[in-house]
Structure 1
Amino acid sequence: MTGPVRNLQAALDSFAEPWSPRRLASVNDYDVKVFKAQGEFTWHSHPDTDELFLVISGRLVIQRREADGGDVELGPGDVYVVPRGVEHCPRADGEVSALLIEPQGTVNTGDTPSARTATLRELDD
């Protein structure tokens, strides 16, 4: 059985709340999520999984705390994988639309629950 056809732009246009991811699709044991970003998120890490970011529009900065790290700046079409266990904090100085790929059940704030911890919502919610 196959899932419904989803349009990426229509999915992003269906909600406005920043840092509130929506499930676009699932592939095997992974969720493909869309989200909007504005301002600074929460410093956190994902000890057990990598996290893939794909920026659709805007500019997203992935701030990282690691010895050889530093900020990673992403623009439209850029992909970056935050390695498991790396403490990071996404920041958007303007509005950003992006896509995430990560294992099902991954909490958006990783190992640091906060007011920004969000339950993953379906696009139809």
Structure 2
Amino acid sequence: MHYQAINLKDKLSKFNDLWSPKVIGEMNDYQFKLLKITGDFEWHSHQDTDKVFFTLEGEMIIDFRDGQVKIPKGEIFILPKGIEMKPSAEKECHIMLLEPRSVVNTGGTEAELTAANDTWI
């Protein structure tokens, strides 16, 4: 058995593309993904799963039809399934996601910002 911790800073240095989650590990049927964001994403929802957003650097904003949440560095937000949202960040922001292996970043609808799924770094 090979035991090694995952260095998040090292993994983040391996890519620059925005809104394109990169898998860094798995636990049961869940994946840990790193993501760099800036600007606005598309309105979408995930009908079948909750999602966890953990801000590593910067501040992420999630707009809802009836409100907004800001997730600064060092904080997490658990989004219940089925809620329509539009993520954004005013400046580049680094996020770790925890979500089921099969989740597509645009909630299953094909869109301009739909990223390849299951991309490992």
Q: Under a length normalisation based on structure 2, what TM-score does the superposition of the two structures give?
A: 0.93
SS in 2 for 1:80: strand
Paired with 2:108 and 2:45, the residues of 1 have a C-alpha distance of 6
Q: Report whether the alignment pairs 1:97 with 2:94.
A: yes
Change in 2 beyond 3 A, CA 1:104/1:78: same
Q: Report whether the alignment pairs 1:80 with 2:77.
A: yes
**Matched length:** 120
The unaligned stretches of length 5 or more in structure 1 are none
Paired with 1:83 and 1:2, the residues of 2 have a C-alpha distance of 35
Paired with 1:25 and 1:50, the residues of 2 have a C-alpha distance of 18
Question: What CA RMSD, in Å, does the superposition of the two structures yield over aligned residues?
Answer: 1.4
List aligned pairs for 1:41-52, cutoff 5 A: 41-52=41-52
Give 1:117's aligned residue: 114
Paired with 1:3 and 1:104, the residues of 2 have a C-alpha distance of 22
Identity %: 38
| Misfit runs of 4+, over 4 Å | 1-4
CA drift at 1:6: 1.7
Q: Under a length normalisation based on structure 1, what TM-score does the superposition of the two structures give?
A: 0.90
SS in 1 for 2:35: strand
